[in-house]
Amino acid sequence: MLADIGGTNARFALARRDAVDPLLMDSVREFAVADFPSLADAARHYLDTTGAIATTGVFAVAGRVDGDEARITNHPWVISAVRTGEQLGLGSLRLVNDFAAQAMGASLLRPQDVVPVGGIGWSGHDAVDRTFAIIGAGTGLGVGGLLRRGGRYFPLQTEGGHVSFAPNSPEEIEILVQMSAEFGRVSNERLVSGQGLVNLHRALSNIAGEDPGPLKPSDITARAKEGDERSLRTIDVFCAVFGAAAGDLVLTLGAWDGVFLTGGLVPKLLPSIAHSAFRQRFEYKGRFSPVMARIPTLAVVHPQPGLLGAAALAQDVA
């Protein structure tokens, strides 16, 4: 049994660990986390409604995993692997950070599962040792890495979405001033996430001396499609900061082989990302700009990269 648990949605599926393509796509179901008091309740609902039978589990969760326990960063669930496994009748249950799963999912991606942003293509995985970065915008901002060493893949679990936001223009400095007054410390996640769209729109409105009123991320994307200038500018800044953060991650990890862009917002905003300053800001790294210009940035369009990664992890321990 597989799970990919975010701050908004809980996705479940089954995997066949001895298969070349371990994720069983026809078994995937998605539920709102707000509809259940606990992860065990959501998982039990999946098993009961599908009639599925599982003996072991790999659950990827959007939060730091500390031993047996995990806390969802953007939702109040607190999860124990032992208790949850016992409640579901599983022989074993492994908890992993969601971006460890996203990273391992990248190990199973094929060229048709990604769309290059910026013109640098990718021909798929090979037998050479590689280092990749993974960064994804959804309810939060997830960050991870993927190493290939000696024919095996190793995911890196991080909380890199919470590094400090570094403005790079007068406008971004003003945005930082606005957000600092509201939040104190400002991380990249405060800008590059679903709620980040709302935070950015509010900051730009405040700079203009206007009150935007309460908004949801979907309100901003809908207004942008209608041509609303502030919503369009919000998405432009979002994409630029996303690109800068992705480039910083390459420098931090030495991920010279490429960056996979994932998370729920990436497919939805892909046209905007492709036609924004994302790639310019990704490459704009001073003396390393020529190196950055050769590194692919790959938007993941596989429908379930988190579950794919959970399936890869299940396969890895088979």
Asked if 85 and 149 sit in the same domain, the reply is no
Asked if 14 and 64 sit in the same domain, the reply is yes
Stated pTM of the model: 0.91
Asked if 48 and 124 sit in the same domain, the reply is no
pLDDT of residue 76: 85
Mean pLDDT of 148-157: 93
Asked if 119 and 197 sit in the same domain, the reply is yes
Q: What is the CATH number of the domain that holds 275?
A: 3.40.367.20
pLDDT of residue 67: 85
Asked if 194 and 293 sit in the same domain, the reply is yes
Computed over every residue of the chain, the mean pLDDT equals: 94
Q: What is the residue-wise DSSP string for 75-88?
A: S--EEEHHHHHHHH
Asked if 71 and 22 sit in the same domain, the reply is yes
Q: For residue 143, name the pLDDT band (cuts at 50, 70, 90).
A: very high
Q: Is 286 left (phi over 0), alpha (psi -120 to 50) or beta?
A: left
Q: What is the CATH number of the domain that holds 24?
A: 3.30.420.40
Mean pLDDT check: name the lowest of 45-49, 78-82, 206-210.
78-82
Residue 147 has pLDDT above 70, yes or no: yes
Asked if 180 and 266 sit in the same domain, the reply is yes
Q: For residue 222, name the pLDDT band (cuts at 50, 70, 90).
A: very high
Mean pLDDT of 282-308: 97
pLDDT of residue 73: 73
Closest CA to 265 of 7, 2, 3: 7
Asked if 24 and 173 sit in the same domain, the reply is no
Annotation: binding site for ATP:
3-8
Asked if 186 and 293 sit in the same domain, the reply is yes
Q: Are strands 65-66 and 69-71 parallel, antiparallel or unpaired?
A: antiparallel
Residue 87 has pLDDT above 60, yes or no: yes
pLDDT of residue 318: 44
233: containing domain: 111-301
Mean pLDDT of 158-182: 96
* Count of domains for the chain: 2
Annotation: binding site:
3-8
Residue 164 has pLDDT above 80, yes or no: yes
Q: How many CA atoms lie within 13 A of 188 on its CB side?
A: 25
Give the length of the chain.
Answer: 318
